[in-house]
Amino acid sequence: MALQSSEPQIRVQKLLETHPSQVPPQYIQPPHHRPSHTNNSTHLSIPVIDLFGFDPSHRPAVRAAIGRESGEWGAFQVINHGIPISLLNRMRAAALSFFRDYSVSDKLAYACDPNSFASEGYGTQMLLDKHVHSQSSVLDWRDYFDHHTLPLSRRNPSNWPHFPSDYRELMAQYSDCMKLLSQRLLALISESIGLPSSWMEDAITGMGAEEGFYQNITVSYYPPCPQPDLTLGLQSHSDIGAITLLIQDDVSGLQVLSGQGDWVTVHPLSPDAIVVILADQTEEVGLVILHCSYGSSLHDKPNSGTSLILGGWNDVIQTWDKLGME
């Protein structure tokens, strides 16, 4: 069943059908928000943590690394996480095919509700400025598809694209694998501060209640921009869930804010690397309840060419995260 939209929104891909030489004014960032006016670091990079397939003999070292980088960065990349690279590659390919190989009119059959935050479906503007009326907000240079994947009572694959033909099956598999990885990472975060493995997940979801484990998966597509120095693919923000897991394609662009106030580009490390970003709920649990130094990571997406990001978030509140194609 395709989703219906109560109000049309112009997708960025639709704008590009006319081959504009300039971006429309509603996409132009104020001068102080443009990529050329931010502090960009070329010598810093976010940490990379080898999970060693969750081998128990490596757990003390992995736990220590996650505790350290969660406090210092709030973001890191993980490798050897147990999710098959074949699944990640097939998911990337299917998501990219949806945006590149089918017409906007076909995709609009799955349009989301533009008047509802993080509603499921194909959209173009999710993060509206809370302090500015939406009609005057600067728009992001991206299109996306948001999937409601967990708990299972929210999961309805008929609301997801039926093209390419394996899209729905891959998305369900990807969702289940990311949930397991999220649970394993939250367990390591709990242990790193001297608490039982289940403590963080229980605190976030409500003592392990299955219905409390929420996950949305957002595929973000960033088309080429005629004036990338004036726009952002996604404006700076922190995620309001617990943890964000994200896979990218081979185009750099995602940035996180370092403790020194520099924007650090998260370069694609390898096809199987997954970016982990701690979100607001993890920060609240760490700071308010535990008085430790974990913090959510502020991040954005300057325009640097056509790119895709797949993200997903897992939390008790219906929030969103990016699935590695940005």
> What's the mean pLDDT in 90-98?
94
pLDDT at 72: 87
CA–CA gap between residue 287 and residue 54 (Å, rounded): 27
- The single residue listed with the structure tokens 């009326």 is 133
CA–CA gap between residue 314 and residue 217 (Å, rounded): 9
Measured over the CA atoms of residue 322, residue 203, residue 65 and residue 293, the dihedral's sign is: positive
What's the chain's Rg over C-alpha atoms?
A: 19
Lowest-pLDDT range of 154-163, 172-181, 314-323: 314-323
Strand 40-41 and strand 307-315: pairing? unpaired
* pLDDT single digits (tens) 116-133: 777 899 999 875 544 444
With left for phi above 0 and alpha for psi between -120 and 50, is residue 298 left, alpha or beta? beta
Confidence of residue 240 (pLDDT cuts 50, 70, 90): confident
pLDDT of 316 above 50 = no
* pLDDT single digits (tens) 217-237: 999 999 989 999 999 988 876
Among the listed residues 51, 289, 42, 304, the one whose alpha carbon sits nearest the alpha carbon of residue 181 = 51
Among the listed residues 187, 150, 190, the one whose alpha carbon sits nearest the alpha carbon of residue 314 = 150
Confidence of residue 173 (pLDDT cuts 50, 70, 90): very high
CA–CA gap between residue 261 and residue 299 (Å, rounded): 12
Give, as one character, the DSSP assignment of residue 288. Answer: I
> What's the mean pLDDT in 94-104?
95
Cβ atoms of 242 and 38 closer than 8 Å: no
pLDDT at 160: 97
Q: How far apart are the two ends of the chain, measured CA to CA in Å?
A: 27
Higher pLDDT, 299 or 254: 254
